[in-house]
Structure 1
Amino acid sequence: MAPVNTSKCFDFKPPMGFFSRREMALKYILILIFILLTINTCSCDDDHEMEEFLKREHSLSKPYQGVGALGSSHWELMGDAMVTTDQVRLTPDMQSRQGAVWSRIPCHLKDWEMQVHFKIHGQGKKNLNGDGLAIWYTKERMQKGPVFGNMDNFTGLGVFVDTYPNEEKHIEAQKKRYTPRTQRIFPYVLAMVGNGSVSYDHERDGRPTELGGCNAMVRNLKHDSFLFIRYVRRRLTVMIDIDGQHEWRDCLDIPGVRLPLGYYFGASAVTGDLSDNHDIISLKLYQLTVLRSKKEEEEEEQAEMTIPSVDNMDLLQLGQNEAGMSGLSIFFTVLFSMLGCIFLIVIGIVVYSQWNESRRKRFY
C-alpha cells in the first residue's frame, strides 16, 4: 500500500489578498483604539488643566474682621449695608433701602471663579417682595443707582438675582398676557455686560441686554444657596446650587465675553415698595491657573481689552427675539413651514414620475 502524502492535505494556500485584508483590518482596529485612548487622555487633561487658589484679598467671609472700617479691611460698605456676626446684610426687610459692599483692591486675574454664598428672605409672600441683589465686576465702585443698588451705564459684568417681575406686572396693568413661551418664573438669575453706555432696562427686567439666564427659587430657603461665576478663556459660566443637594445646576454659558483686567468685585441690593433681607454670607474668589499655548498667550497679549464686549451679541439678541415670538407668529411660522414641505414633496413626486416615465420609454 502506497503511503499517503499528507503534505497535500495540509498545504493550504490562502487566497490572494487574505493577509493584506487582515492586516488592514487589524491596522484600523489599532488606529481606533489609539483615537479612543487619545480622547480619554485629553478629557483627563481637561479635568486637571485648571488649578484653583483662594485669593483672600479678594474674598469676603466670616468673621468679617474690620469690614467697613477705614483702611483696616479689603472691603468697604455703602448705603444701608451693615455687618452682623452671621452675614453682611445689604438691605433689611424694609422699603426703599439700598446697600452694597465693594472690594478696595482691583483684580488683575485673567481667569477666575467667584463662589457666592447668599440668602434672600423676608415676610413678603410670592410676588410681594423685592427687588433683588447683584454681583459685580466693574470699573466703577461705590456708586449708588437704580440697578440693584448700583449705577446705571456701568462698565463691566453684572450678575443679577431678580426677585420681582416688573415687566409682567406692567403687562398685567395693560390687561395683556404673556405667552407661555416668553413668561419667566421669578426669582430669575441673569447676566449682563456693560460698556459704559448701555442702560439696564428695569421695566423689562433686563431682557434687551441679557446674555442668558435661568429661574432660581431662592427666597426663604431653609438650606444654603450658592451662585457660581466662572470666567475662563473669555468664557462666562454661571451656575446655581439652591436645592440643598450640593450639586451645581447650569444657568448660562456664553463664549466670547471680553472683560478687562483691573476691575472691582462687589455686591449690592435694593428694595422699593416691596422688600426683603438681602444677605451675603461669603464671597470667595479663586484664581484659576489655566494651561495655555504660546500662540494663545501671544493672541491674548495682542488683543488686550480696554472696553468690555461680547462677541456675536447680535446673534444672542436675535435668539432672544425668536424666543419671544408671540403665539400667532409661531402659528404662522409652523403653518408656512408645513406648506413649504408639502410643496417640495409634491414637486419631488412629479419630477420622479416624469423621470421614471422617460426611463421606461427608453426600453421600448
Structure 2
Amino acid sequence: MRCDNSYQVREHSLIKPYNDDRWDFTGSTIISSTAVRLTSDYQGQRGAIWNNIPCRLRNWEMHVHFKVDGKGSELFGDGFAIWYTKEKMEMGPVFGNRDKFTGLAIFFDTYANQNGAHNHGHPYVSAMINNGTLSYDHDRDGTHTELSGCESNFRKSRFETFAAIRYEKNKLTVSLDISGRNEWKLCFTTSNVHLPTEYFFGATAATGDLSDNHEIMSIKVFDISEGKVVTEDDADYSNVVPNAEYFAPPRDHVDDPKLSTLSRLTGWKLVGVFVLAAVGIIVCLMIGYILFNKTQQTSRKRLY
C-alpha cells in the first residue's frame, strides 16, 4: 500500500526488543522477547501501549502485526483496538480504553453482543470517529457510530496476521493480510474523514467474562507525504475537530449462530429464564407428588 517515497518513522514505531522509551505500557500488559501481550487468556483484564510522541504527519500509514488466540473454541472475547487520539493512557470500557475519546479507533471485535444491531458475523473490524461526545455502544457492537467495517477471521489464524491503516488526503483505508499470501486485502475505505495532527497512536485490549490472548508483535508507522514540505496552512491542522461525513446506518440484529441461546441472554432475560425453569421444576414435582399419593391410595384399597 505504501508509496515509493514513503519511509518508516522510528519515533512512532514499535519493534523488538520493545525497550523503546517512546512507548508507555499499562494495565495487564506483559512484554516478552517476541510480543507485547495486552491481555492474557484470563477474565477481567485491560492492557494498553501508547506512543508518547504526538504525530505531526498529515498523511500516514500504520502496519500492525498482531495475534489473537486462546483456549475458547465457541466463546471468546472481547477484542482489541488501534487508536489515534488526543488522549492517551486512560483506561476504560472501550476495549480497554476510555469512552468518549477524541480521534480515531479501529476495533478488532471478536464477540457478538446480545443486543447488537448488526447483520454481520464476528470477528469484525470497524472504524469510529469521535469528537469526544459520542459513547461506544457495546450492546449494539458500536453499529450506530460505525464508519464502515468488514468480517475477518483473524482469530487463531494459521498464518501471521497484519493490518494496514492508511490516512491520506482525508481518506481512511483499512486492509488486512491474514491468509499468508503476503498481499493486502481491502477491508473498507471511506472518504471525508477529518483528523488533526498532534494526536497519539496506541493499542489496547480487554477481556470480560470471556477472554483471549491479544498480542502486538510490531507497529510500524510510515510517512506517506511523498516528500511534501510543511506549509503555513498545515500549522492550523492540529486544531481540526475529528469528524466524518458518513456513518453506517443502524441495522437489524441477526443472531450469531456460533453462540448458544443461553450464552446470549443477560440481565433480566437471563433471570426470567431461570425463574421459568424453577417454576417448571416445581410444577413437575407437585404433579409427581399427586400421582404418587394416588398410587399409594389405590394400593391400600387393594389390600382391603
The alignment's TM-score, normalised by the length of structure 1, stands at 0.65
Residue of structure 1 equivalent to 2:105:
158
Of the candidates 63, 77, 86, which is equivalent to residue 34 of structure 2? 86
SS of structure 1 residue aligned to 2:68: strand
Residue of structure 1 equivalent to 2:90:
143
Q: Displacement, 1:183?
A: 1.9
Q: How does 1:30-69 map to 2 (within 5 A)?
A: 51-65=5-19, 67=20
Greater C-alpha Rg? 1
Q: 1:213 to 1:48 in 2, by over 3 A?
A: closer
- Quick check: 1:261 aligned with 2:197? yes
After superposition, the CA RMSD in angstroms is 2.4
Q: How does 1:76-115 map to 2 (within 5 A)?
A: 76-115=24-63
CA contact (8 A) 1:49 1:291 kept: no
Return the letter of the residue paired with 2:143: R
Q: How does 1:196-345 map to 2 (within 5 A)?
A: 196-290=132-226, 305-311=239-245, 313=246, 316-317=247-248, 320-321=249-250, 324=251
SS of structure 1 residue aligned to 2:144: helix
Return the letter of the residue paired with 1:165: A
Return the letter of the residue paired with 1:136: W
User: Paired residues, what number?
Assistant: 254
SS of structure 2 residue aligned to 1:246: coil
**Structure 1: 5+ residue stretches without partners:** 1-46, 68-72, 172-177, 328-364
Q: Displacement, 1:222?
A: 2.3
Q: Displacement, 1:304?
A: 6.1
Structure 2 distance, partners of 1:249, 1:215, is: 12
Q: 1:325 to 1:82 in 2, by over 3 A?
A: closer
> Whose strand proportion is higher, 1 or 2?
2
Return the letter of the residue paired with 1:238: V
Q: 1:302 to 1:196 in 2, by over 3 A?
A: closer
1:32-81 CA deviation, whole Å, 9 max, x = no partner?
A: xxxxxxxxxxxxxxx9976211111110011112x5xxxxx111101000
Q: 1:304 to 1:277 in 2, by over 3 A?
A: closer
Q: 1:157 to 1:222 in 2, by over 3 A?
A: same
Structure 2 distance, partners of 1:49, 1:86, is: 29
Structure 2 distance, partners of 1:95, 1:304, is: 38
Structure 1 distance, partners of 2:44, 2:252, is: 35
**Structure 2: 5+ residue stretches without partners:** 255-304
Structure 1 distance, partners of 2:134, 2:76, is: 27
SS of structure 1 residue aligned to 2:139: coil
Structure 1 distance, partners of 2:205, 2:146, is: 19
Q: 1:292 to 1:104 in 2, by over 3 A?
A: closer
- Quick check: 1:131 aligned with 2:75? no
Return the letter of the residue paired with 2:191: P
Residue of structure 1 equivalent to 2:129:
193
Structure 1 distance, partners of 2:62, 2:176, is: 12
Structure 2 distance, partners of 1:325, 1:170, is: 10
SS of structure 2 residue aligned to 1:203: helix
Structure 1 distance, partners of 2:167, 2:213, is: 28
Q: What percent identity do the matched residue pairs reach?
A: 45
Q: Displacement, 1:326?
A: 9.1
Q: Which of 1 and 2 has higher RCO (CA within 8 Å, sep 6+)? A: 2
CA contact (8 A) 2:14 2:220 kept: yes
SS of structure 2 residue aligned to 1:251: strand
Structure 2 distance, partners of 1:325, 1:62, is: 43
> Whose helix proportion is higher, 1 or 2?
1
CA contact (8 A) 1:259 1:305 kept: no
Q: Displacement, 1:162?
A: 0.2
CA contact (8 A) 1:133 1:160 kept: yes
Residue of structure 1 equivalent to 2:278:
none
Structure 1 distance, partners of 2:200, 2:2, is: 28
